[in-house]
Amino acid sequence: MHINDYVQFILFVIVLIAITPPLGRYMAKVFTDQKTWLHKPLGWLEKLTYKFSGINPHEDMSWKTYAAAFMVFHLLAIVVLVAIQMTQAWLPLNPQNLPNVVWHSALNTAVSFITNTNWQGYSGEVTMSYFSQMMGLAVQNFLSAACGIAVAVALIRGISRKNAKAIGNFWVDTARAAIYVLLPICIVFTIVLVGQGVVQTFAPYVEAITLEGVKQIIPLGPAASQIAIKMLGTNGGGFFNANATHPFENPTALSNFLQMLSIFAIGAALTYTYGSMTNQRKHGWIIFGAMLSLFIVFTSLSLTSEYTTNPVFNQSGMMEGKETRFGVFNSVFFSSVTTSASCGAVNAMHSSLSPLSGGVAMVNMMLGEIIFGGVGAGFYGMMLFILLTVFIAGLMVGRTPEYLGKKIEAKEMTMVILAILAPCAMILLGTGISAITPAALSSLANKGPHGFSEMLYAFTSGAANNGSAFAGLSANTQYYNLMLALAMFVGRFAIIIPILAVAGSLAQKKYSPPSSGTFETDTTLFAILLVGVIIIVGALTFLPALSLGPIVEHIMMIKGQTF
């Protein structure tokens, strides 16, 4: 690594810490119904949304009503998005006359985008029309991100309210997240990206003649607006097949830095929002610190592995699979950011990373979207481990576990364990079934542990709602489209429904003032214990699977054997 790489790493952390309080404070005002400077220019849009949709913004929902609204909204979104894809040939804004999308790919894509996963088994520029990209995928980029923020806010209300039966209004929370948080930032970010060279046009593709005299079709489209929300909303689906490696999506070093920063921005700020809404700002910073510590440690491990000499080629910092504009550091750093935050955008092929670096990318996702994570999802994913840590600490000292004055009992822990284990089960079961299924094995590009890693990464990415691809796996088949759609669906809703149940249960509880025996959650000791629980749960769950993939591949690489 060069000195510039260290400077960029430090600068990234400094800027992230700096933007967290103002953005977190702003979101706290938005979701506690306080007026902000954007309410005057955008308030009409919020009111129009309620009027057009027939929403009563003053209705307070129980957790069951909130969850039902959440599910109905997403099921309808799947139907609409499938319909758009399967009829795009007859819809406007299709200058390349692209055909309708096959049903199983359309279903996979619909589930992918409504779950904030954005897994793509297709090449965007030869599959999706401008209409499908804008009215289908980009709209869901906004809505899935807004829904994730809404669930996080509902959980915060459940923790902060006392003797309450309601946790807010799903429609209002989603509308405010989209209108006051995502939309204004994306408008500014889109303009910045266009200034950096990201394309934004409705013009048809351009035919060019190369120096060799060969015709080349250069794809265009309204990319900048979708790139802004895909990064800020931690969606990750690329407008073009090469994703953030493509110069029309990510042309400069500055655009690359800003895109990485935008991936973390809202997830990090939600920790401050939580501290503000619960009057526990120090605890909010402890959560932020735990997330940041995990990110720094895992990113350092990934970089160390990538810069260690590969004995097969007797070379370190290999450029295979990486974009020359960004180099080794920015490729590995981006891979760590995007898998930590459940984004899925990539600016390098993760299959080309060193075995341990690729393994770190998997671990980031396997831990459950808790290192800042997807917008909203990172926060409530971390809250699962916080409640588990508090419960374990309470049992260790022989007290009824309490968290911020609320007793944590069997009902809450049942939901917490269900939410933690559901995506883990999908990852391991999906990979295990695929390892013995000919239809799955026929899609592998490699044999041995690397081929196993291709399958393990795919189901990890799907169940963790990340969406990044290891590369090498031909996933646009009926088998993988349906299996990964199931993994993405379970990975989203089998976490959110228990989370809302926990929010509803905590909201009804009485507040117990802290006593001398209360376990403090705003100390460094709690942060260490929290990180320890996360690592232990992750290791116990996934170490055997990782041993069959990246770990054994690393050992064989040391012996000079590749696959």
For CA atoms 217, 220, 221, 227, give the dihedral sign. Answer: positive
The full DSSP string for 76-103 is HHHHHHHHHHHTGGGSSS-TT-PPPPPH
Q: Check residue 517 and give its pLDDT.
A: 67
CA pair distance 187, 229, nearest whole angstrom: 9
Gap between the terminal Cα atoms of the chain: 27
CA pair distance 383, 496, nearest whole angstrom: 12
- Averaged pLDDT for residues 486-505: 94
Helix (H) or strand (E) holding 209: strand 206-209
pTM check: above 0.85: yes
Q: Based on C-alpha coordinates, what's the Rg of the chain? A: 23
With a cut of 90, say whether residue 438 has pLDDT above it.
yes
Q: Check residue 1 and give its pLDDT.
A: 79
pLDDT per position as a tens digit, 379-430:
999 999 999 999 998 887 777 788 888 888 899 999 999 999 999 999 999 9
CB distance 168 to 157 below 8 Å: yes
With a cut of 90, say whether residue 237 has pLDDT above it.
no
Helix (H) or strand (E) holding 64: helix 63-86
pLDDT per position as a tens digit, 72-107:
999 999 999 999 999 999 999 898 889 999 999 999
With a cut of 90, say whether residue 469 has pLDDT above it.
no
The full DSSP string for 374-425 is STTHHHHHHHHHHHHHHHHHHHHHTS--EETTEE--HHHHHHHHHHHHHHHH
CB distance 100 to 206 below 8 Å: no
Q: Check residue 17 and give its pLDDT.
A: 96
CA pair distance 465, 419, nearest whole angstrom: 14
CB distance 481 to 120 below 8 Å: no
* Tokens describing residue 170: 């799903």
Q: Which residues contact 6 (CB under 8 A, 6 or more apart)?
A: none
Percent over 70 (pLDDT), the chain: 99
Least confident of 10-14, 148-152, 313-317, 488-492: 313-317
Phi, psi of 168, rounded to the nearest 5 degrees: 120, -165
Neighbours of 18 (CB within 10 A): 10
Q: Which residues contact 496 (CB under 8 A, 6 or more apart)?
A: 67, 70, 151, 380
pLDDT per position as a tens digit, 498-547:
999 999 999 998 887 777 667 788 889 999 999 999 999 888 899 999 99
Percent over 90 (pLDDT), the chain: 69
pLDDT per position as a tens digit, 260-317:
999 999 999 999 999 999 999 999 999 999 999 999 999 999 999 999 888 888 888 8
Residue boundaries of the structural domains of the chain: 36-265
For the chain, the average pLDDT equals 91
CB distance 145 to 116 below 8 Å: yes
CB distance 244 to 347 below 8 Å: yes
Least confident of 22-26, 70-74, 148-152, 397-401: 397-401
- Averaged pLDDT for residues 238-260: 91
- The letter for the amino acid at 540 is L
